[in-house]
Amino acid sequence: MSELVFFSGTMDCGKSTLALQIVHNRDQRGLQSLIFTRNDRAGRGKLSSRLGLVTDAVEVTDTMDLYGHAVGVLSRGGRVDYVVVDEAQFLAPEQADQLARVVDELDMDVYAFGITTDFRTRLFPGSQRLIELADRIEALQVEALCWCGARATHNARTAGGVMVVEGAQVVIGDVEGGAAGTAGTVAAEVGYEVLCRRHHRRRMTRASAAAGALSPDVLPVNHG
């Protein structure tokens, strides 16, 4: 039985790497993928991982029908054995429904990869719909870590090094403060950092925690 599987986690937890591994392993066995992505940092029509691997993909647009696209490939004599979708948080909810239709009507596995929540801890609409529809939701085994060493569960956005909780939901960027990419809204000063919930709630990034540790008002008072 074919499945819709949603592999989700924070930024930088290895989702794109796993997507590329799935494609590589099936490719080795002669299976043909149809790969979708949207707003990858490497540019349009790319699925890239921070480990340096990259492959070509179909860039999803606002109005693209993913089921219709798969049917189109098949009807032109192309072969599709399974579907991979990276940056699936950027899908419109109806595109998640189209992926479920691919599974049910074309009998193909669909592996979707994406972050669950945005920098305000709110579900992305595409991720919400995938959670609602998926046969399975998988958390990645290599967890990203907060600066405190706890498992990172949330994504923080920083602007000029300071955590922000207001702004557009979609701003393409990277962890470690570096913003990159060619699609979507790109703000040079925006960065991301993965945090545990406790530190996300307290708005404590690695930099602000370090600054707090050095702040005179938390240093031990010398009564001597």
Ligand X SMILES: Nc1ncnc2c1ncn2[C@@H]1O[C@H](COP(=O)(O)OP(=O)(O)O)[C@@H](O)[C@H]1O
Ligand Y SMILES: Cc1cn([C@H]2C[C@H](O)[C@@H](COP(=O)(O)O)O2)c(=O)[nH]c1=O
Among 42, 60, 171, 196, binds ligand Y (CB under 6 A): 171
The packing angle between helices 125-133 and 93-106, to 10°, is 30
Q: Report the 10 Å Cβ neighbour count for 186.
A: 15
Q: Segment near ligand Y (CB under 6 A), from 18-26, 70-78, 104-112, 166-174?
A: 166-174
182 binds ligand Y (CB under 6 A): no
Residue nearer to ligand Y on the CB measure, 67 or 192: 192
What residues between 40 and 59 interact with ligand X by CB under 6 A? Answer: 49-51
Amino acid at 208: S
Site for ligand Y (CB under 6 A): how many residues? 16
CB under 5 to 8 A by kind: which of ligand Y, ligand X, none does 17 bind? Answer: ligand X
Question: Of the candidates 145, 163, 171, 110, which has an alpha carbon nearest to the alpha carbon of residue 9?
Answer: 145
Question: How many angstroms separate the CA atoms of 189 and 167, rounded?
Answer: 13
> Of 87, 105, 143, 176, which is the active-site residue?
87
Q: Are 39 and 172 in contact (CB under 8 A)?
A: yes
Quote the Cα angle for 170-189-208, to 5°.
100
User: Least CB distance from residue 115 to ligand X, whole Å?
Assistant: 8
Question: Of the candidates 187, 218, 20, 173, which has an alpha carbon nearest to the alpha carbon of residue 111?
Answer: 20
Taking residues 131 to 170 in sequence order and writing x for each that binds ligand X by CB under 6 A, - otherwise, the string is -----------x-x--------------------------
98 binds ligand Y (CB under 6 A): no
Site for ligand X (CB under 6 A): how many residues? 12
What amino acid positions are annotated as catalytic residues? 87
